[in-house]
Amino acid sequence: MAITAAHVARAPRIRLGMVGGGRGAFIGAVHRIAARLDDQYELVAGAFSSDPDRAAASAADLGVARSYASFEEMAAKESRRKDGIEAVAIVTPNHLHAPTALPFLKRGIHVICDKPLTGTLPDARRLAKAIQGSNSIFALTHNYTGYPMIRQARAMVAAGELGDLRLVNVEYIQDWLTEAVEASGQKQADWRTDPARSGAGGSTGDIGTHAFNLANFVSGLTLDTLAADLQSFVPGRRVDDNAHVMLRYTSGARGTLWCSQVAAGQENGLRLRIYGTKGGLEWGQENPNYLWITPYNKPKYRLTRGGAGTGPDAARLTRIPAGHPEGYLEGFANIYAEAARAIIARRDGTALDPATTFPGLKEGLEGVAFVDACVRSSKKNGAWTKLAL
C-alpha cells in the first residue's frame, strides 16, 4: 500500500451548469458524479430537459436550485448573474451539441461536452469556429483517456520504450444493440440509432470515435487513410452497428479498428494493443488498472495503477493505492479534474500544471471526420479515404 496524495488543497469550486441529463438519461448522471468526485465543481444550474416539466422535476430531484426551461435562457441569465455558472456540461444527443454550445461560448462560459463533438462535419466546423473565436475552454469527454494506465501507456510510447511503432489494434465491442431495442422505445437506443440525432455513424460515432481517439492518444500517430466496411446487421437499423476499419498512419504504421454493438455477450470491450520495434503494450478497459508491457525478447510485465514501475503521468491521476481498483467513474472524473485545472488557472491567473491534458476541439474534429471517412469509404466499397479535416 503505497500511500498516494489523494488529499489536495483546492480552490473555490467551479460553478457548473448542465444541459440535458434529466430523468431517464444516462450519461448526465455520470458527468455529475465525475464533476463531484474531486470536489472541484458545484452544480448550481440546469436545463435538464427540453420538456419544461421534466426539466423542473429533474432539477428538484437533484437539489439544483436554478432550473431553466431552455439552454438559451440558461446561457443568457446565468451570464448576467454575479454567481452565474463558469462552465456548462453538455450531455444532450449529438445533434444538439453544437447549437447548445454556441450561446455559452459566446458568453465566455467554459464548455465540457460529451462526445462525439457533433453529429455532422458541417456542425463540427461551425462549432470549431465558435470555440476558436471564444475565450472559453472546451473539453470533450473522451473519458477513456482519463484512465491513469492510459496516461502511463502514452508516456512510455512517447519515451520510445516500444521503439518505432508498427501496429495499432484497437477495438470497442458491445452487445447492447444485438436486437432491435430501438423499436421498443429504449431511450438510449432510440436517438443513437436515429441519423438525425446521432449523425451518420451508429457504432462508429458512439464508440468508434472513442476507440479512434484512444489509439491516437496513446500512439501519438496521425492517420493518413482508412478503409472501412460498415454493417447494419439488425434489420431496419438506420445506422451502422458494426464496423471493420483498416488504418494507415502517416509514419508507415498500420492498424485496425473494430467497433461493434452486436458482439453478443460483450459489455464494454474497449481494448488497445500497440506493437513497435522494441516491444508491445496491451490494455483493456474492463480491467483498467493493469497495463501489460511486452518487450521483445524480455519477460512480459504487468504494471498496476499506483504500483511499482508506474510513472508520474499515471500517478498524477491516481487517488488510491495499487490493488484498490479505480474504475470508469474515476477515469471520467479525471477529465473533469484536468479541465478544472485549466479553468481555475484561467480564472485565478495561476500557472497551469504543464502536464494537464484533456481532449478538446482537435480530438473532436478528428472524431467527426473519422466517422465521416468511415461512411464515405464504406459507400465506396472500402476505398482508402482521407479524413476531411
Which residues in the 268-327 window bind a second copy by CB under 8 A?
A: 268-269, 273, 275-280, 285-289, 293-304, 306-309, 319-327
DSSP 256: E
3-state secondary structure of 208: helix
Query: Shortest distance, CB of residue 266 to a second copy, whole angstroms?
Result: 7
Burial tier of 26 (Cβ tally within 10 Å: 0-12, 13-18, 19+): exposed
Q: Interface mask (CB under 8 A) for a second copy, residues 85-124, using x and -?
A: ----------------------------------------
Closer residue to a second copy in complex, CB, 103/288: 288
Asked whether position 176 contacts a second copy by CB under 8 A, the answer is yes
Closer residue to a second copy in complex, CB, 357/385: 385
DSSP 96: G
Asked whether position 205 contacts a second copy by CB under 8 A, the answer is no
Q: Which three cell numbers stand for residue 127?
A: 462549432
Cβ(370)–Cβ(212) under 8 Å? yes
- Looking at residue 193, its amino acid is T
Query: Shortest distance, CB of residue 362 to a second copy, whole angstroms?
Result: 26
3-state secondary structure of 318: coil
Closer residue to a second copy in complex, CB, 264/388: 264
Query: Restricting to residues 325-364, which ones interact with a second copy according to CB under 8 A?
Result: 325-330
Q: Interface mask (CB under 8 A) for a second copy, residues 126-165, using x and -?
A: ------------------------------------xx--
Distance between first and last Cα of the chain: 46
Give the integer Cα–Cα distance in Å for 174 and 248.
25
Pairing of strands 138-140, 290-295: unpaired
Task: Give the bridge partners for 67, in sequence order.
Answer: 46
Give the integer Cα–Cα distance in Å for 64 and 181.
32
Query: Restricting to residues 46-65, which ones interact with a second copy according to CB under 8 A?
Result: 58, 60-63
- The residue within the footprint of a second copy, chosen from 9, 53, 185, 349 (CB under 8 A), is 9
Query: Restricting to residues 231-270, which ones interact with a second copy according to CB under 8 A?
Result: 231, 233, 242, 244, 246, 248, 254-256, 258, 260, 262-269
Cβ(17)–Cβ(88) under 8 Å? yes
Query: Shortest distance, CB of residue 231 to a second copy, whole angstroms?
Result: 6
Asked whether position 376 contacts a second copy by CB under 8 A, the answer is no
CA torsion sign for 13, 94, 204, 236 is: positive
Spatial neighbors of 184 by CB under 8 A, at least 6 apart, are none
Q: Which three cell numbers stand for residue 288?
A: 483498467
Query: Restricting to residues 177-196, which ones interact with a second copy according to CB under 8 A?
Result: 178-179, 186-188
Cβ(230)–Cβ(208) under 8 Å? no
Closer residue to a second copy in complex, CB, 30/113: 30
Query: Shortest distance, CB of residue 365 to a second copy, whole angstroms?
Result: 26
The one segment of 105-113, 173-181, 210-218, 334-342 that binds a second copy by CB under 8 A: 173-181
Closer residue to a second copy in complex, CB, 17/255: 255
Closer residue to a second copy in complex, CB, 205/255: 255
The one segment of 67-75, 153-161, 166-174, 216-224 that binds a second copy by CB under 8 A: 166-174
Backbone angles phi, psi at 248, to 5 degrees: -125, 125
Which helix (H) or strand (E) segment holds residue 160: the answer is: none
Query: Shortest distance, CB of residue 324 to a second copy, whole angstroms?
Result: 4
Give the integer Cα–Cα distance in Å for 157 and 5.
26
Query: Shortest distance, CB of residue 308 to a second copy, whole angstroms?
Result: 5
Query: Shortest distance, CB of residue 1 to a second copy, whole angstroms?
Result: 4
Cβ(284)–Cβ(177) under 8 Å? no
Q: Interface mask (CB under 8 A) for a second copy, residues 11-50, using x and -?
A: -xx-------xxxxxx-xxx-xx--xxxx-----------
Closer residue to a second copy in complex, CB, 107/210: 210
- The residue within the footprint of a second copy, chosen from 72, 175, 190, 224 (CB under 8 A), is 175
Cβ(274)–Cβ(255) under 8 Å? no
Give the integer Cα–Cα distance in Å for 379 and 119.
18
